[in-house]
Amino acid sequence: GAGVSQSPSNKVTEKGKDVELRCDPISGHTALYWYRQSLGQGLEFLIYFQGNSAPDKSGLPSDRFSAERTGGSVSTLTIQRTQQEDSAVYLCASSYLPYRGRNTGELFFGEGSRLTVL
Amino acid sequence: TQLLEQSPQFLSIQEGENLTVYCNSSSVFSSLQWYRQEPGEGPVLLVTVVTGGEVKKLKRLTFQFGDARKDSSLHITAAQPGDTGLYLCAGALGAGSYQLTFGKGTKLSVIP
């Protein structure tokens, strides 16, 4: 498809289980972002990948969260030992250019993966 | 502390009315973007403003970036039901920043 693809669209898991969320960005986009959107909240930055550079992991809320991007394309966000507070919509976005201040780069978002931790 | 404060949080209006939503901060942003998000979908970019005092128009939508680049507003003229959605502002703090900071959004409902 032409847009950012995320899977699964919905995931219900039990507390303590590990989950993997996948993002397939738009072909040719070098920048990839993960955001988290909780009910009533804005988008919370989690992690950023740009080309072969080291990712910016400064937004990851704990060491239970990790992400990787293989071959500069597909990315996987892994949450270990899930907690109820991890319940949220996890949004992935890609961009042709990294968004840097006055650079008018546009982020293209996927539809998100809704995670529910029981 | 929320870096970008959006107001109002909720807005319900009749079709044909005008409205303004606000995005405020005590920080200076290099640029600011507005996105619209519909239920079950990701946000979609509406506009980017980069110059203090800049005004951009997109059909019935008018976006303004404050002179000090700390605030922005979105004005919708003659709102239509298709304008319903969550409006998010997002800003980049520095010229070298690639992190977009998002506000919590304004949830707009336009009643036919």
Cβ–Cβ < 8 Å for A78, A64: no
Nearest alpha-carbon partner for A39 in B107, B95, B93, B32? B107
What's the pLDDT score for residue B92?
84
Nearest CA in chain A to B38: A111
In percent, the amount of chain A with pLDDT more than 70 equals 92
Nearest CA in chain A to B104: A42
Is residue A28 over pLDDT 90?
A: no
pLDDT in 10s for each residue of chain B, 112 residues: 678 999 999 999 999 999 999 999 999 998 899 999 998 899 999 999 989 999 999 999 999 999 999 999 999 999 999 999 999 999 988 766 777 889 999 999 999 9
Residue of B42, B48, B99 with shortest CB distance to A112? B42
What's the pLDDT score for residue A91?
97
Q: Which long-range contacts (CB under 8 A, 24 or more apart) does A25-29 make?
A: A25/A73, A25/A74, A25/A75, A25/A92, A25/A94, A26/A2, A26/A94, A26/A96, A26/A108, A27/A73, A28/A96, A29/A94, A29/A95, A29/A96, A29/A108
- In this prediction, residues A36-65 reach a mean pLDDT of 90
Is residue A72 over pLDDT 90?
A: no
In percent, the amount of chain A with pLDDT more than 90 equals 71
- State how far the Cα of A16 lies from the Cα of B79, in Å rounded to an integer: 46
Single-letter amino acid code for the residue at A53:
S
> Do residue B42 and residue A110 have CB atoms under 8 angstroms apart?
yes
What's the pLDDT score for residue B1?
60
Is residue A102 over pLDDT 70?
A: no
Closest CA–CA distance from residue B14 to any residue of chain A (Å): 23
> Do residue A101 and residue B96 have CB atoms under 8 angstroms apart?
yes
What's the pLDDT score for residue A100?
67
Mean pLDDT of chain A: 91
Is residue A40 over pLDDT 80?
A: no
